[in-house]
Chain A
Amino acid sequence: MVDPLTVRTRTDDVAATGATEHESPTIRVMTTGHELDESEQIAPGASGPAPQMDFAADQVVFELDQLSCFYGSFRAVRDISLKVPKNQITALIGPSGCGKSTLLRSFNRMNDLIDSARIEGRILYHGVDLYENGVDAVEVRRRIGMVFQKPNPFPKSIYDNVAFGPRVAGFRGNMDELVEQSLRRAAIWDEVKDKLKTPGTALSGGQQQRLCIARAIAVEPDVILMDEPCSALDPIATLKIEELMRELKENYTIVIVTHNMQQAARASDVTAFLTMGEDRAGYLVEMAPTQELFTRPINRLTEDYITGRFG
Chain B
Amino acid sequence: MADTLRPQAAPPAADLVRRAISGRRVDIGARLFEGILLFSLLIALAILVVLMADVIGRGWVVYAERGTEFLTSGNSRDPAQAGVGQALFGSLALMVIVAIVSFPLGIGAAIYLEEYARDSPLTRFITVNIRNLAGVPAIVYGLLGLAVFVVALGDLTGPNSNGRSIISGGLTLGIVVLPLVIITASEALRAVPDTIREAALGVGATRWETIRSHVLPYAAPGILTGTILSMARAFGEAAPLIMVGGAASFVAAGDANLIDQLFGPYMAMPTLVYNWAGLPNQEFRALTSAGIMALMTTILLVNGIAILLRNRYARRW
Contact = CB atoms under 8 A, between A and B. Distances in A.
B204 interface: yes
A236 B317 CA distance: 25
Nearest to A112: B201
A219 B202 contact: no
Contacts of A199: 317
Nearest to B205: A168
Contacts of B200: 154, 164
B203 A150 contact: no
Contact of A152 (B119, B195, B205, B315): B195
Interface stretch (A22-30, A136-144, A284-292): A136-144
B317 A138 contact: no
Assign chain A's interface to a size class.
Answer: 20 to 34
Interface of A is mostly: helix
A155 B196 contact: yes
Given A155-B315, A202-B317, A141 B201 contact: yes
Contact of A154 (B201, B206, B214, B315): B214
A152 B317 contact: no
Nearest to B207: A138
B201 to A, nearest CB: 6
B141 interface: no
Given A155-B317, A164-B213, A202-B317, A148 B198 contact: yes
Contacts of A215: 199, 203
B149 interface: no
Contacts of B198: 110, 113, 148, 152
B195 A148 contact: yes
Assign chain B's interface to a size class.
Answer: 20 to 34
A256 to B, nearest CB: 15
Interface of B is mostly: helix
A16 B195 CA distance: 38
Given A113-B198, A164-B213, A168-B209, A141 B203 contact: yes
Contacts of B317: 155, 199, 201-202
Contacts of B124: none
Given A155-B218, A155-B317, A201-B317, A165 B204 contact: yes
B118 interface: yes
In this complex, the member of A145, A155, A201, A212 whose beta carbon has the largest number of chain B beta carbons within 10 angstroms is A155
B149 to A, nearest CB: 39
Contacts of A187: none
Nearest to A202: B317
A201 B206 CA distance: 23
Interface string B156-197: 000000000000000000000000000000000000000111
B276 to A, nearest CB: 50
A29 B199 CA distance: 38
Interface in B86-129: 118-119
A148 B199 contact: yes
Contact of B204 (A113, A139, A152, A154): A139
A292 B202 CA distance: 33
Nearest to B118: A115
A151 B269 CA distance: 52
B193 to A, nearest CB: 8
In this complex, the member of B195, B214, B315 whose beta carbon has the largest number of chain A beta carbons within 10 angstroms is B195
In this complex, the member of B118, B204, B213 whose beta carbon has the largest number of chain A beta carbons within 10 angstroms is B204
A82 interface: no
A32 B94 CA distance: 81
A150 B204 CA distance: 19
A90 interface: no
Nearest to B206: A138
Contact of B213 (A139, A141, A168): A168
Nearest to A216: B203
Contacts of A168: 203-206, 209, 213
Interface in B5-48: none
B202 A216 contact: yes
A146 interface: yes
A207 B152 CA distance: 64
Interface string B297-317: 000000000000000000101
Interface of B: 118-119, 195-206, 209, 213-214, 218, 315, 317
Interface of A: 108, 110, 113, 115, 138-139, 141-143, 145-146, 148, 150, 152-155, 164-165, 168-169, 199, 201-202, 212, 215-216, 218-219
**Top 9 nearest A-B pairs by Cβ distance?**
A142-B204, A165-B203, A152-B195, A146-B202, A199-B317, A141-B204, A152-B199, A168-B209, A168-B205
21 contacts: A110-B198, A110-B202, A138-B204, A141-B202, A141-B203, A141-B204, A145-B202, A145-B204, A154-B196, A154-B199, A154-B200, A154-B214, A155-B196, A165-B204, A168-B206, A169-B204, A199-B317, A212-B199, A215-B199, A215-B203, A218-B203
